[in-house]
Amino acid sequence: GENVEQHPSTLSVQEGDSAVIKCTYSDSASNYFPWYKQELGKRPQLIIDIRSNVGEKKDQRIAVTLNKTAKHFSLHITETQPEDSAVYFCAAKGIGGDYKLSFGAGTTVTVRA
């Protein structure tokens, strides 16, 4: 099955700086890569996703890049704000009979005011 690794496990940034989280995946057949944000005691919420036919996608302060050859993808948050503090999870989805989302271990992001 798919194995997703995520780094770093914790990230502390000054407000206004950028945050970058990186993930690698094992299954070259995966073609869907979402990112979820989870605040304490709440559900994971989809913040952005990318499909394998696209190399980069941006939504306001959030961007995701995908390198299919190297099997890694990254989340970039620019101009960080205190409300960006949360746990972020990357995920990858296989194709064929294996449709489940496999998650990375998560990155706890703390934005210092």
Partner 1 sequence: NAGVMQNPRHLVRRRGQEARLRCSPMKGHSHVYWYRQLPEEGLKFMVYLQKENIIDESGMPKERFSAEFPKEGPSILRIQQVVRGDSAAYFCASSQAGSDGNTIYFGEGSWLTVV
Provide the binding-site residues for partner 1, judged by CB under 8 A. 1, 31-32, 34, 36, 42-46, 49, 51, 89, 93, 95, 97-106
Both tokens assigned to 85: 């503090």
- Residue 20 or 47 having the CB closest to partner 1: 47
CB of 12 to partner 1, least distance (A): 17
- Residue 31 or 78 having the CB closest to partner 1: 31
Where helices occur in the chain by DSSP H, the ranges are none
Distance (Å, whole) CA 77 – CA 21: 9
CA-based nearest residue to 88, from 2, 28, 13, 1: 13
- Residue 2 or 61 having the CB closest to partner 1: 2
